[in-house]
Amino acid sequence: MSTYALELKDLRKNFGKTEIIRGVNLAVQPGERVAVIGPNGAGKSTLFNLISGRFGPTRGEILLNGQRIDHKKPYEINRMGLSRSFQITNIFPKLSVFENLRCALLWSMGYKYTFLKFLSGLKDANERAEQLMEMIRLEKKRDTLAMNLTYAEQRALEIGITIAGGSDVILLDEPTAGMSKSETSRFIHLIKEVTVGKTLLTVEHDMGVVFGLADKIAVVVYGEVIAFDTPEAVRANAKVQEAYLGSSVADSQAGGH
Ligand SMILES: Nc1ncnc2c1ncn2[C@@H]1O[C@H](COP(=O)(O)OP(=O)(O)OP(=O)(O)O)[C@@H](O)[C@H]1O
């Protein structure tokens, strides 16, 4: 049986007659941090949509901790241990930071607790919400409505909501998009801290973030993974350099990352 946290086997997706994902194979070890990079339109979002169950594949298999998840519904995949962040769209703007985290926790506990155990569940959720708030460094904003947080704070809250359910595989879509340079470096640090021991997949355009965060990089070009390796090996990969025309990846090297 597979011991991979996530495994894609000959994964394919057609939209109409066009094959957008063209036989992707990828095996991610538990605890690995993987950045998925590639030119615009390469299929990165489609890949995330397939993994998280928004789309069903045309062919191929997706395994989460050895169990098939292709053709399961997003909430079923979530229950099986995969959580995806949608930038800040999981946040309830009119709830406080604490209430947002507590909601996420209760939602994830709801299926495990019977109604009669709900009250004790509530106590657990309160305690865990406090812990999570400290982890994402928003304890001073405990009672602030989410809509009144700064953008970077909202992104931190979103990460808190994403990890609240205890999933061991986390998908993040461009986690630092829209942040300033200093916010970005603080946020990379935060992501690393809160995902210790978890498997992380990010779609990312910012090469600084990619090289700061990833143990491995998957390079998607025209619906195929053309390289899956350590950042150093990917930088040196001739196929990758050709696909990027020596731009982003080489630039980040010149930038000293
Ligand atoms: N629901 C859909 N129906 C038809 N075509 C789609 C659909 N979703 C994506 N595509 C097409 O699939 C291709 C891959 O798109 P996708 O969004 O996965 O690329 P991407 O690598 O995430 O791009 P970007 O970096 O610009 O976000 C594009 O040509 C896009 O037009």
Strands 18-28 and 6-15: antiparallel
Please give the average per-residue pLDDT across 173-199, as a whole number: 90
Cα-to-centroid distance, 65 and ligand 1 (Å): 27
Q: What is the pLDDT of residues 100-129, one digit of tens each?
A: 998 888 877 765 555 555 666 677 788 889
The structure tokens listed for 209 are: 């973030």
d(CA 195, CA 59): 31
- Pocket of ligand 1 contains residue 118 by CB under 6 Å: no
Instruction: Output the residue whose Cα is nearest ligand 1's atom 18.
Output: 43
Full strand arrangement of the beta sheet holding 82-85: 82-85, 169-173, 199-203, 33-37, 216-221, 224-229
For ligand 1, mutation pick of 40, 45, 50, 248 (most atoms within 8 Å of CB) = 45
Confirm if 64 and 169 have CB atoms less than 8 A apart: yes
* Torsion angle defined by CA atoms of residues 204, 205, 207 and 212, in that order, rounded to the nearest 10 degrees: -20
The pLDDT value recorded for residue 116 is 55
The pLDDT value recorded for residue 254 is 46
Q: What is the pLDDT of residues 89-102, one digit of tens each?
A: 678 999 999 999 98
Domains within the chain, CATH numbers bracketed: 1-14+25-81+171-257 (3.40.50.300), 91-166 (no CATH)
Please give the average per-residue pLDDT across 46-74, as a whole number: 95
Confirm if 68 and 62 have CB atoms less than 8 A apart: yes
Give the CA distances from residue 38 to residues 41, 156, 186, in Å, rounded to whole numbers and listed in that order: 8, 25, 24
Q: What is the pLDDT of residues 14-48, one digit of tens each?
A: 999 999 999 999 999 999 999 999 998 999 999 99
* Backbone torsion region of residue 31, taken as left when φ is above 0, otherwise alpha when ψ lies between -120 and 50, otherwise beta: left
The residue written with tokens 């399961």 in the block is: 72
Strands 169-173 and 82-85: parallel
**Long-range contacts of the stretch 250-253 (C-beta < 8 A, 24+):** 251/207, 252/207, 252/208, 252/210, 252/211
Which residue type does 179 have?
A: M
The pLDDT value recorded for residue 90 is 73
The pLDDT value recorded for residue 103 is 87
Give the model's confidence band at 256: pLDDT under 50 very low, under 70 low, under 90 confident, else very high: very low
Looking at the predicted complex, does its ipTM rise above 0.85? Answer: yes
Task: Determine if the pTM surpasses 0.80.
Answer: yes
> Can you tell me which atom of ligand 1 is nearest the CA of 48?
18
d(CA 128, CA 119): 14
Give the model's confidence band at 1: pLDDT under 50 very low, under 70 low, under 90 confident, else very high: low
